[in-house]
Amino acid sequence: MWLIVGLGNPGEEYASTYHNVGFRVLDRLAARQTARVNVHKERCGAAVISDEVQIRGQAAILVRPQTYMNRSGTAMSPVFDRFGAAAQDVIVIYDDVALPLGKIRVRQRGSAGGHNGIKSLISTFGSDEFLRVRVGILPEREIDDLREFVLSQVARDDRELLDQAEEVAVNAVDTLIGEGIDRAMAQYNGIDLRKKEN
């Protein structure tokens, strides 16, 4: 059983912010399943989970923590317990201000890199060895206040590129599950949507 976790902040006021990339990618992933599975939501502690879905013939649960980003691990603890998840069966999707807008990175493990949601998950899980799909959000313009930026509404000039990146992230999850980490890294880590040939 795969656990696919999208990180973000709960509440309508955050829905269109840079920090909620993980939630939006999860929504796109769920939308792809509607022809085969009626994805409904149920609560598991402080997280909302979907029905079991099938991705590339493998069972998966889509999980949206309902705590604020920096407490994502707290929300996930009962989900991990309920499904007996091992680190290698977890895929976490999240925004990354260390990556330029238009790029994504698939990783097998690693530090939090300053991302509070990942830091919280590592603390709860007791391991940094879970799969990640990082979606770049750093625009080319200068940012004065990082916290203010990630919690701001996505700028009109960034929307198209971020939409494309979120779709690529969905494809990356599909490849991760169907073909494995090495194939996913080879296929997606070199993509730069800022370049027209991509």
CATH value at residue 92: 3.40.50.1470
Express each pLDDT in 142-171 by its tens digit.
Answer: 888 888 998 999 999 999 999 999 999 999
Instruction: Looking at 84-134, list the stretches that DSSP marks H as alpha helix, in order from N- to C-terminal side.
Output: 116-125
Residue 113 covered by a domain: yes
Look up the domain containing 29 and give its range. Answer: 2-188
Report the amino acid identity of residue 76: M
Residue 196 covered by a domain: no
79 Cβ neighbours under 8 A, 6+ residues apart? 3, 44, 45, 47, 49, 63, 85
Residue 197 covered by a domain: no
Residue 98 covered by a domain: yes
Give the catalytic positions in this structure. Answer: 19
pLDDT of 40: 65
Residue 44 covered by a domain: yes
Express each pLDDT in 114-134 by its tens digit.
Answer: 777 878 888 887 777 789 999
Residue 153 covered by a domain: yes
The share of the chain scoring above pLDDT 90, in percent, equals 47
- Number of structural domains (the chain) is 1
Query: Which pTM value belongs to this model?
Result: 0.90
Instruction: Looking at 51-155, list the stretches that DSSP marks H as alpha helix, in order from N- to C-terminal side.
Output: 72-83, 116-125, 146-150
Residue 193 covered by a domain: no
State whether residue 136 is helix, strand or coil: strand
Instruction: Looking at 53-145, list the stretches that DSSP marks H as alpha helix, in order from N- to C-terminal side.
Output: 72-83, 116-125
Residue 96 covered by a domain: yes
